[in-house]
């Protein structure tokens, strides 16, 4: 399984705050750390020492630190693509190239003697990775990660994201993307409206962003881009990432019965494989509860995202649980017992037939 990560920005905070945040993240199973060395203002030795102190602390927690690096800084720091001792001495697990070279240099960097990982930018949408691969890199040391976007409405759209990601997954390379905390206040630059890869994630709860990446199944590692996420968010991200099955948030109807609530929230559900364009069917509940009564109520017209239970008028289907994929009329045989939380309705499009899922009260 992939890893969860957090980000720290030593130039914009204090060692004590960064260390406390890393301690908290490690407690919730976070393994990766992203940090950014895109420019150095003032004394380079002082700046580098502050980074090393934070990196050493992360390493003591068993975390892996990726340093985002602008190649324009290489000369200032005495780094070349065939001499990466600086990053080894810094304690970094790897270096992310914010801007790349020509392909040959990246491939040579993956064959460094220190085992450093080289992470390249997945968000360009060009055939950059094909060029690197043509120079026979050490694939074990070559990773990809998407950018994050601090400017509202500048993040990636889903179609472009999928297309750009596919250029990396075809080589079975490790992939990463960023999610945003709603509690965090800063990133590497003065202005940020959150730090996510996908624009549609910008204002979503953190667990919903994580669930989306889990369901996409194309991204190995998910990293919180801004600092500092709250403890509640770290826990929510952990729970969503490590969940046995994706958990959909459901707003139950005001007059849902105790039995109907039990059907939804106390059972594992499975998306029936012979799919309908109208209904996601979880049929086991009609077997488990075949001897129970489901009187008709709340048999209103059905909207996409409504959670449904067939009532006793539906004969052998009584007790079957469903989620509406489309708007439909209701002839009185279906109880509308709730609906997916509005911010998770889009996840319906990513559930796959034969996959398991659970439901929880929103």
Residues 116 and 229 in one domain: yes
β-pairing, 174-179 with 142-145?
Answer: parallel
Which CATH number do you get for residue 157? 3.20.20.70
Count the Cβ atoms, other than its own, within 10 Å of residue 260: 25
User: Which of the listed residues 243, 259, 278 is the one where a domain comes to its end?
Assistant: 243
Residues 264 and 168 in one domain: no
> 331, exposed or middle or buried, with CB in 10 Å at 0-12, 13-18, 19+?
exposed
Residues 169 and 300 in one domain: no
Residues 228 and 258 in one domain: no
β-pairing, 269-270 with 356-361?
Answer: antiparallel
User: Which of the listed residues 211, 243, 275 is the one where a domain comes to its end?
Assistant: 243
CA–CA dist 86, 340 (Å, integer): 50
Which CATH number do you get for residue 324? 2.40.100.10
Closest by Cα among 102, 106, 40, 114 to 77: 40
Q: In terms of DSSP H, where are the helices of the chain?
A: 15-27, 44-60, 74-77, 85-90, 104-109, 128-133, 158-169, 206-216, 231-242, 258-265, 284-288
Residues 318 and 350 in one domain: yes
Residues 259 and 308 in one domain: yes
Could you tell me the mean pLDDT of each successive run of 10 residues in the chain, 362 residues long?
96 96 98 91 88 98 95 85 93 92 94 97 94 98 98 98 98 98 95 96 98 98 98 98 97 97 98 96 98 97 98 98 98 98 97 96 97
Contacting residues for 68 by C-beta, under 8 A, at least 6 apart:
34, 35, 36, 37, 38, 96, 98, 188
Its pTM surpasses 0.85? yes
Sheet strands side by side (includes 321-324): 269-270, 356-361, 247-252, 334-340, 306-310, 321-324, 279-282
Tokens (6 digits) for 37: 């060395």
pLDDT at res. 98 = 82
Residues 101 and 237 in one domain: yes
Residues 309 and 214 in one domain: no
Residues 312 and 163 in one domain: no
The angle at the Cα of 190, spanning 198 to 194, to the nearest 5 degrees, equals 25
Domain that includes residue 8, residue range: 4-243
Residues 144 and 233 in one domain: yes
**What's the Cα-to-Cα distance from 41 to each of 71, 86, 150, 187, 234, rounded to whole Å?**
16, 18, 21, 17, 32
Closest by Cα among 221, 224, 275, 267 to 248: 267
CA–CA dist 130, 182 (Å, integer): 36
Which residue has 């004969």 as its token pair?
315
β-pairing, 247-252 with 269-270?
Answer: unpaired
Number of domains comprising the chain: 2
294: part of which helix (H) or strand (E)? none
């Amino acid at each position: 399984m992939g890893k969860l990560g957090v980000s720290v920005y030593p130039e914009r905070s204090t060692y004590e705050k960064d260390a406390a945040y890393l301690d908290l993240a490690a407690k919730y199973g976070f393994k990766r750390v992203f940090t950014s060395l895109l420019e150095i203002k003032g004394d380079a030795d002082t700046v580098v020492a502050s980074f090393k102190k934070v990196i050493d602390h992360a390493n003591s927690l068993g975390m892996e630190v990726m340093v985002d690096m602008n190649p324009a800084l290489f000369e200032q720091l005495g780094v070349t693509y065939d001499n990466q001792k600086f990053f080894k001495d810094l304690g970094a697990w790897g270096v992310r190239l914010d801007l790349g070279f020509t392909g040959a240099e990246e491939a040579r960097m993956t064959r460094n003697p220190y085992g450093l990982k080289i992470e390249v930018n997945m968000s360009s949408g060009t055939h950059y990775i094909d060029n690197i691969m043509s120079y026979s890199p050490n694939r074990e040391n070559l990773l990809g990660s998407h950018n994050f976007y601090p400017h509202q409405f500048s993040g990636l759209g889903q179609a472009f994201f999928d297309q750009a990601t596919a250029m990396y997954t075809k080589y079975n390379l490790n992939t990463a993307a960023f999610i945003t905390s709603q509690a965090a206040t800063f990133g590497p630059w003065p202005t940020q409206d959150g730090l996510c890869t996908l624009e549609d994630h910008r204002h979503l709860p953190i667990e919903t962003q994580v669930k989306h990446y889990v369901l996409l199944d194309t991204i190995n590692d998910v990293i919180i881009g801004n600092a500092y996420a709250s403890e509640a968010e770290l826990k929510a991200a952990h729970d969503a990432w490590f969940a046995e099955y994706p958990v959909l948030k459901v707003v139950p109807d005001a007059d849902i019965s105790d039995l109907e609530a039990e059907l939804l929230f106390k059972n594992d559900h499975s998306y029936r494989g012979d799919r309908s364009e109208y209904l996601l069917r979880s049929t086991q509940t009609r077997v488990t509860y075949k001897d129970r009564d489901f009187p008709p109520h709340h048999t209103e017209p059905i909207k996409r995202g409504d959670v449904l239970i067939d009532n006793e008028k539906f004969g052998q289907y009584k007790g079957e649980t469903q989620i509406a994929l489309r708007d439909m009329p209701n002839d009185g045989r279906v109880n509308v017992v709730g609906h997916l939380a509005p911010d998770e309705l889009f996840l319906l499009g990513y559930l796959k037939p034969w996959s398991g899922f659970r439901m929880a009260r929103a």
